């Protein structure tokens, strides 16, 4: 198997890891939406059972809190095992140093994330639950970076031809990610502390505006990789704002239509969960977009135009035949 084939298989493993992590995120977000984080008072055991010996399926439709919490633990265990496989494969197939480092970072991040979740249970600390949720976005983003860096376009990206466009895209990508960090933290405060609602709502529209500005300047770029990235980011951002507005309506009602919210209804829990998970996806998309922009910047060369200086009043021009 050639090195290219091995890298392609490594990338498939990374994509699978991302998919498994998405399942973990969904279970985790559902657990928080149902306020089921303390369904078990022990960890790493569940009601005294080891992780794989607990009768998990018996809780289905009978005790949703325990079903969701233990499902979240099982999914975390699976992604932990898969992360080990990813690291072993990276070193066995002699992947690039950057990919090795990122795969190790993913494994360490998953381990630390599991410990955060465990300490949250043992200490019964909601503040740790918020940190646990925020750190999940970081680990998920590193996984996205691993996929992008193992792709062919990262190795041979197109070069940007306009210096001004490149500079603006770099600045905008950093500003967007910074705003989303604050926005995501406000979202965590709402879910775990019940505060920061209006700040989160206002920043949501600011974030969408910044995403649109990023998309606009990316559309001016001659690099198709960045144009596609900007468009994808815009579509994800629009979806996130839509989910946020839907969550607001299901939480507080909508007077013009006479809709009255039902606390902890299936629709409310489902939409809150979708908004949370899609928020992590939005954060990852912005993080990956920033990496793409800076990667293109490293291969883009811009020639500085120099003004013509007239040294004396008599200018000599060379013409065919050597005449002046």
- pLDDT tens digits, 268-285: 999 999 999 999 999 999
- Judge contact between 10 and 99, C-beta under 8 A: yes
Helices 126-149 & 266-299 angle (0-180, nearest 10)? 40
The position carrying tokens 């979740």 is 117
- Judge contact between 280 and 25, C-beta under 8 A: yes
**Quick one: pLDDT at residue 196?**
87
**Quick one: pLDDT at residue 301?**
85
pLDDT digits (tens, 9 = 90+) for 207-225: 999 999 999 999 999 999 9
**Quick one: pLDDT at residue 252?**
87
Query: Among 273, 281, 214, which Cα is nearest to 244's?
Result: 273
pLDDT beneath 50, residues of the chain: 308, 313, 315-324
Own/partner contacts of 72-77, CB < 8 Å, gap of 24 or more, are 72/24, 72/27, 72/28, 72/30, 72/31, 72/117, 73/44, 73/46, 73/117, 75/20, 75/23, 75/24, 75/27, 76/24, 76/110, 76/113, 76/114, 76/117, 77/51, 77/52
**Quick one: pLDDT at residue 61?**
87
- Please list, in sequence order, all residues whose beta carbon lies within 8 angstroms of the beta carbon of residue 205, skipping any fewer than 6 positions away: 241
Domain parsing of the chain, residue ranges? 1-156, 160-298
- Please list, in sequence order, all residues whose beta carbon lies within 8 angstroms of the beta carbon of residue 61, skipping any fewer than 6 positions away: none
Cα 90 from Cα 88, distance rounded (Å)? 5
Length of the chain: 324
The token duo for 199 is 């700040």
């Amino acid at each position: 198997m050639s090195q290219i084939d091995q890298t392609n298989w490594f990338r498939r493993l990374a994509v699978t890891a991302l998919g498994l992590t998405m399942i973990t995120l969904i279970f985790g977000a559902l657990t928080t939406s149902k306020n089921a984080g303390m369904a078990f008072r022990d960890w790493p055991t569940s009601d005294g059972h080891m992780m794989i010996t607990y009768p998990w399926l018996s809780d289905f439709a009978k005790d949703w809190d325990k079903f969701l919490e233990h499902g979240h633990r099982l999914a975390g265990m699976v992604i932990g095992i898969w992360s080990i496989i990813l690291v072993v494969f990276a070193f066995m197939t002699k992947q690039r140093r950057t990919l090795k480092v990122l795969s190790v970072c993913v494994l360490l991040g998953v381990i630390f994330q599991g410990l955060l979740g465990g300490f949250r249970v043992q200490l019964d600390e909601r503040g740790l639950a918020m940190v646990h949720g925020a750190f999940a976005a970081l680990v998920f983003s590193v996984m996205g970076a691993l996929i992008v860096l193992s792709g062919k376009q990262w190795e041979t990206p197109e070069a940007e031809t306009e210096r001004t466009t490149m500079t603006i895209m770099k600045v905008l990508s950093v500003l967007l990610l910074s705003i989303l960090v604050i926005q995501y933290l406000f979202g965590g405060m709402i879910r775990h502390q019940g505060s920061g609602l209006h700040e989160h709502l206002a920043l949501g529209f600011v974030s969408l505006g910044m995403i649109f500005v990023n998309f606009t300047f990316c559309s001016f770029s001659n690099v198709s990789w960045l144009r596609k990235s900007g468009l994808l980011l815009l579509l994800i951002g629009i979806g996130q704002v839509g989910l946020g507005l839907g969550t607001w309506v299901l939480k507080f009602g909508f007077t013009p239509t006479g809709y009255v919210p039902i606390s902890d209804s299936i629709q409310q829990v489902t939409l809150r969960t979708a908004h949370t998970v899609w928020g992590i996806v939005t954060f990852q998309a912005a993080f990956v977009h920033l990496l793409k922009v800076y990667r293109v910047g490293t291969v883009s060369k811009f020639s500085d135009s120099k003004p013509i200086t007239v040294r004396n009043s008599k200018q000599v021009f060379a013409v065919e035949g050597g005449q002046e």
